[in-house]
Structure 1
Amino acid sequence: MLLWINGPFGGGKTQTAYEIRRRLPGSVVCDPEHVGFGLHRMTPPGLRGDFQDLPAWRQGVVEVLDLALTRHPGPVLAPMTVIDPGYFRETVGRLRERGHDVRHFALLAERGTVLDRLRGRGLGHAVRRVAGKDAPLRRESFAVSRLDLCLERLQGEEFAEHLWTDRLTVPQVADRIAASAGLALVPDTDNALRGALRRTWTSVRHIRLD
């Protein structure tokens, strides 16, 4: 089974995926962003755009996830924002056409909730207020610039199942996804401090430096 966890940038996809992996023995995270990062690194800086626009990204994601789903014995978790319906069909749709059991979840939240999470992802400095408007710092500027479009697109029927997360913790989101997919997670035994430290470490591990 593939759990594709979609949502706006900063919406909790990666945190949720690693929470499920922690509590679901045999599961593995296969992050489609890494295919895009590799393509960016081999492209001259002046030619870099949204790597999802490259057919090689969509093809590469399908091939890698197909391999993982065919040969890995446990569930595969893919945290990735995809809001273009055509690109969604070329990735999630093609994996389903190959016979894989793909469960898709779009994590949604109010705009203010996502901005608060981006602040947290940036260790308190992702977004500042200037003249009453959101002024993103550089590392999160792409996430903020795409936020409204992401929230609008992902509410479409083709991106179901929708899960509103404003009032849910990361472990609760993981529980909801697992229950919908018919998977049993081991109990969450983290206290508040340990859970916060774990999520901070996950964020630090996924900071891009290039």
Structure 2
Amino acid sequence: MLVWINGPFGGGKTQTAYELHRRLPGSVVCDPEMVGFGLHRTMPRELRGDFQDLPAWRQGVFEVLDLVLNKHDGVVIAPMTVVNPAYFDETVGRLRETGHDVRHFALLADRETVRQRLRARGGFGLRFDSFAVDRIDRCLDALQRPEFAEHIQTDHISVSEVADRIATAAGLTLTPNTDGALRTRLRRAKVSLSHIRF
């Protein structure tokens, strides 16, 4: 099974993916963003736009996830914002057409909640991410569409509760969440730090 976690930038996709991974033995996180970063590194800076616009990104994501789904004996988790319906069809749609069991979830929140989450990233001394902020409305509006269901509103629930809802909807059994508040904060900070892009 592939669990694709969609949502706006700052919507909690990565934290939710790693919470699922932590509590789902045998699972693996495959981040489609890494395919895009790899493509960008092969290009001059002035040619680096939105890597999702590159056909090579969409093809690469399909091929990597298809390979992992065929070879890995466990749930595959992919956290990635995709709001262009054509690009969604070329990735999620193609994987479904190939016969893979793909469960898609869009994590939604109010605009101000997303802005606050993005602002919190600045707690690591980084600039406020204007790329992500500029796309909040576009992402939230697009993800409301039925082709991007199943929707989970995350404003007032924790990352662990989001993971629980995804697991229940997908028919997965997670190990109990026994971590206290301090360990949870430290683990989330570690995930955030490991995903900072300079």
User: How far apart are 1:121 and its partner, in Å?
Assistant: 2.4
Matched residue, 2:172:
183
| Cα RMSD, aligned residues only | 1.0
**Equivalenced residues, count:** 198
In 1: Cα distance, 2:120 partner to 2:25 partner: 28
In 2: Cα distance, 1:167 partner to 1:73 partner: 34
Normalised by the length of structure 2, the TM-score is: 0.98
Matched residue, 1:40:
40
Query: Helix, strand or coil: the match of 1:4?
Result: strand
Q: Which runs of 4+ in 1 moved over 2 A?
A: none
Are 2:183 and 1:199 equivalent residues in the alignment? no
Matched residue, 1:89:
89
Query: Helix, strand or coil: the match of 2:147?
Result: helix
Q: Percent identity?
A: 70
Matched residue, 1:169:
158
Query: Helix, strand or coil: the match of 1:123?
Result: helix
Could you give the per-residue CA deviations for residues 32-91 of structure 1, whole angstroms, max 9, x where no partner exists? 000000000001001110000000000000000000000000000000000000000000
1:143 to 114, 132, 147: 132
* Further displaced range: 193-202 or 54-63: 193-202
In 2: Cα distance, 1:119 partner to 1:18 partner: 21
Normalised by the length of structure 1, the TM-score is: 0.92
Within a 5 Å distance, the mapping from 1:71-150 to structure 2 comes to: 71-123=71-123, 137=127, 140-150=129-139
Matched residue, 2:11:
11
Gaps of 5+ in 1: 127-136
Gaps of 5+ in 2: none
User: How far apart are 1:114 and its partner, in Å?
Assistant: 0.7
User: How far apart are 1:124 and its partner, in Å?
Assistant: 6.5
In 2: Cα distance, 1:119 partner to 1:173 partner: 21
